[in-house]
Amino acid sequence: MDEELSEAVKKCLKILEENIDIMSNLEFALEDEKENDLVSDLELHNLYDMTEDVAASAKLKRAESNFMRRKSEDFQ
C-alpha cells in the first residue's frame, strides 16, 4: 500500500512539473486581466507605490515557482 501511494505521488509530481510553467503563465495572465482596469487621477507617488507592489508580487511568484520546482525535484 505504501509503495502504491509513493508511486501515485511521484506520478502527480511529474505531471505538476511538466505543467508548472503553463499553470504559472495562466495565473499571471488571469491576474493581469483582473488588474487591467483604468484608474484616473493618479499622482506620481501612487505610480511609484504600484510599481513597487508589482515588482514584489513578481518576485514572490517567481520564488513560489522555484520552490515548487525544487520540491518536485526532491521527490524524484
Q: Is the pLDDT assigned to residue 20 strictly greater than 80?
A: no
Q: What is the DSSP string of 30-45?
A: HHHHHT-----S--HH
Q: What share of the chain has pLDDT > 90, as a percent? A: 0
Distance CA 41, CA 47 (A): 11
Please tell me which residue, 8 or 32, carries the higher pLDDT value: 8
pLDDT tens-digit map of 47-74: 788 888 888 888 888 888 888 888 887 7
* φ/ψ bin of 42: left (φ > 0), alpha (ψ from -120 to 50), beta (otherwise): beta
Q: What share of the chain is helix, strand, coil (3-state, %, to 5)?
A: 85, 0, 15
